[in-house]
């Protein structure tokens, strides 16, 4: 063959670059084979080797299962351990403390039932949410939220007294029912503050409301029953804040102390022998959990699920590695961010972890 018919050496060199050998433990990419029928457990188990966000989901499953499996007895006894910490049976009983954070829209959605399942069965240890994530749970005990559409016109909805949360619809009458329910409780709380010297904090308020709602569908009813603390540092940023605002005119004087709660929240992290965080969404709940774990030089396990991107420098968009730089996640922690909308992912994550073989 003449030189003019030969592949140019530069092209051959560029295209036919020889590969180095891959590591012995490298995992081939392979998805689920539907020739085997429909087996959801097997399907989800293939995600780890599927690639892209499916692999991130698979890593999240592994990390959550490690949180759940860890016991203090897995660790060697340290010279600084007290006598109780040296007892083998005690060490077998000490678990990883799991912090679960979620934004208010998830309680408005059907993810509420998934969170309620975890709390009812004492599968998580500390909850953090926004004001909406608290009030929406109680409101749904009083009246339902409905499926709507993302494209419904705001002006038309406003004229009908209908509030839109994405593709969910909450009639404004639901908030009126909520006001009728909560105001007498706030009156009683004010009475106890004045007569008994009760110092209310956001977590104590939520604990009391969980007791008062007395409804098995409520996240916070089960948090009350199982004595799981719920922290809400921005408790006034929602309808609950509206109720407190109106109440301050009708019956002035109710005080809610946030300082006690920041001490309690940080202490939850400081006293944890092992710490795992699962955070759905971003913003305040994400930072509040991560910042508490700074007090122990970082969480040991972390799973973030959200759609936010990091290019704008937001805390919501930050990957776990950014939290490592602040000491909020340990440098050697196992962590992953799943770039996905939580209503799609979280029930599947729970199915492969907390609910599996429960």
DSSP 324-355: HHHTSEEEEEEEEEEES-HHHHHHHHHHTTTT
pLDDT in tens, 17-42: 999 999 999 999 999 999 999 999 99
Pairing of strands 146-147, 168-171: antiparallel
| Catalytic, out of 140, 204, 274, 328 | 328
Task: Supply the pLDDT for residue 176.
Answer: 97
Res 1 pLDDT > 60: no
Please compute the mean of the pLDDT values over residues 211-222 and round it to a whole number: 98
Model pTM score:
0.96
pLDDT in tens, 260-293: 999 999 999 999 999 999 999 999 999 999 999 9
Nearest to 346 by CA among 125, 179, 107, 49: 107
Res 2 pLDDT > 70: no
Confirm whether 328 is a catalytic residue: yes
pLDDT-derived band at 344, boundaries 50, 70, 90: very high
Please compute the mean of the pLDDT values over residues 295-300 and round it to a whole number: 98
Res 12 pLDDT > 90: no
Query: Percent of the chain having pLDDT more than 70?
Result: 99
- Taking the C-alpha atoms of residue 340 and residue 54, their distance in angstroms, rounded to an integer, is 10
In the chain, the largest separation of any two C-alpha atoms, in whole Å, equals: 104
pLDDT-derived band at 3, boundaries 50, 70, 90: low
| Mean pLDDT (the chain, rounded) | 96
- Phi/psi at 330 (5° precision): -65, 150
Res 312 pLDDT > 90: yes
Question: What one-character-per-residue DSSP string does 221-268 give?
Answer: HHHHHTT--EE-TTTTSSHHHHHHHHHHHHSTT--B-HHHHHHHHHHH
- Taking the C-alpha atoms of residue 282 and residue 278, their distance in angstroms, rounded to an integer, is 11
């Amino acid at each position: 063959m003449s030189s003019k018919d030969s592949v140019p050496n530069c092209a051959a060199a560029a295209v036919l670059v020889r590969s180095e050998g891959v590591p012995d433990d490298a995992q081939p990419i392979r998805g689920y084979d539907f020739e085997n029928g429909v087996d959801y457990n097997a399907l989800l188990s293939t995600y780890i080797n599927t690639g892209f966000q499916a692999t991130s989901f698979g890593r999240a499953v592994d990390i959550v299962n490690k949180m759940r499996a860890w016991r203090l007895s897995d660790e060697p006894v340290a010279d600084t351990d007290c006598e109780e910490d040296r007892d083998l049976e005690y060490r077998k009983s000490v678990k990883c403390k799991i912090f679960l954070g979620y934004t208010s829209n998830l309680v408005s959605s059907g993810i509420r039932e998934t969170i309620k399942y975890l709390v009812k069965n004492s599968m998580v240890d500390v909850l953090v949410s926004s004001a909406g994530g608290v009030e929406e749970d109680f409101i749904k005990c009083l009246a339902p939220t409905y499926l709507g559409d993302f494209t419904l016109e705001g002006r038309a909805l406003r004229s009908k007294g209908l509030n839109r949360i994405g593709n969910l619809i909450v009639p404004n009458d639901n908030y009126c029912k909520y006001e009728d329910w909560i105001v007498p409780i706030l009156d009683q709380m004010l009475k106890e503050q004045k007569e008994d010297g009760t110092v209310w904090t956001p977590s104590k308020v939520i604990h009391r409301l969980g007791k008062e709602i007395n409804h098995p569908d409520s996240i916070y009813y089960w948090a009350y029953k199982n004595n799981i603390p719920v922290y809400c540092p921005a408790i006034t940023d929602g309808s609950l804040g509206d109720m407190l605002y109106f109440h301050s005119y009708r019956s002035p004087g109710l005080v809610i102390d946030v300082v006690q709660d920041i001490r309690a929240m940080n202490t939850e992290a400081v006293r944890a022998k092992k710490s795992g965080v699962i955070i759905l969404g971003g913003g305040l709940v994400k930072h509040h959990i991560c910042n508490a774990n700074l007090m122990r030089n970082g969480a040991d396990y972390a799973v973030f699920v959200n759609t936010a991107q990091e290019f704008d420098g937001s805390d919501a968009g930050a990957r776990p590695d950014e939290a490592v730089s602040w000491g909020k996640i340990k440098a050697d922690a196992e962590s992953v961010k799943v770039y996905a909308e939580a209503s799609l992912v979280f029930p599947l994550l729970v199915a492969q972890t907390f609910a599996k073989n429960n």
